[in-house]
Each structure stands twice: as structure tokens, then as C-alpha cells.
Structure 1
């Protein structure tokens, strides 16, 4: 299962999975998770997918550059 970290609220990590948010106990999430990370559920623990997270960040930066590009 794959998702994106939407926000962290105390002991809950809110992860968007297939367009729906789910509250996940912070104990079930790797300690290095950040908002915006693409995460995978592996053996009952949510971990960061480093490759997809970097690709997502690059895509967002490109979209922002396209929006703010001066002609």
C-alpha cells in the first residue's frame, strides 16, 4: 500500500491513500517521516519511499517554476 503524508498531529500521522485520508498511529510510522513524503506500508510499518519522494518533489518544483515563469 502506498500513500502521501498529509500532516502530523501529535501522535497521529495523517496519510492520504487513494484520495482518502487515514489517521495512522505515530508508532506505526518510521521516525524519519516528513509531511509530503511518499510512504509505503512494509511489514506493518510505514516507511519513506525515497525515490518516489524525490521524484514528487522535483515534479512540484517544476510545476511551481512553470507557474511563476516570467515571459
Structure 2
């Protein structure tokens, strides 16, 4: 099992960042509701949206942005 983050969409491919590298997966193999920045779980041929992981990741990014732009 691996966790990855949706980096971008390129035509029929989805670019996924996994451990500081990227892989390309056909868009049709992912759930339709995935968006850029979402965290996913890849378990063999099964790919699922990690809703809780995505929420935590976005909260961490929001905190870092708040810290960066504090007056």
C-alpha cells in the first residue's frame, strides 16, 4: 500500500507524487471525484481517495501559510 498526492492532470493521465517522485496513472483508474491536492491510497490495482488524509494535508498547508504570512 502506498499513499500519494494528486499533482496535476495531463490529458488522460494523472500525475501522482509518491515519496519525492512522480508516477503517471490513467485518469480512468482513479475515482471521478479526485482533485489536484487530494491524497490517495494505492493498494495493488485498487486506488481510493483518502478523505481524512486530504483533510489533514490541507490543514497542515493552511497552518504553514498562516505562519508564513503572519504580520
Aligned residues: 70
Aligned-CA RMSD value: 1.1
Q: How does 1:19-58 map to 2 (within 5 A)?
A: 19-42=20-43, 44-58=45-59
1:48 deviates by: 1.1
Gapped regions of structure 2 (runs ≥ 5): none
TM-score (norm 2): 0.90
1:45 deviates by: 3.2
1:30/1:45 contact within 8 Å kept: no
Distance 1:35 1:57 in 2: 12
Partner SS state of residue 37, structure 2: coil
Structure 1 runs of 4+ off > 2 angstroms?
A: none
Name which of structure 1's ranges 57-66 and 35-44 shifts more when overlaid on structure 2. Answer: 35-44
Distance 1:30 1:44 in 2: 12
Deviation by residue 1:9-37 (Cα, 9 ceiling, x = unmatched)? 11000001111100100111110110001
TM-score (norm 1): 0.90
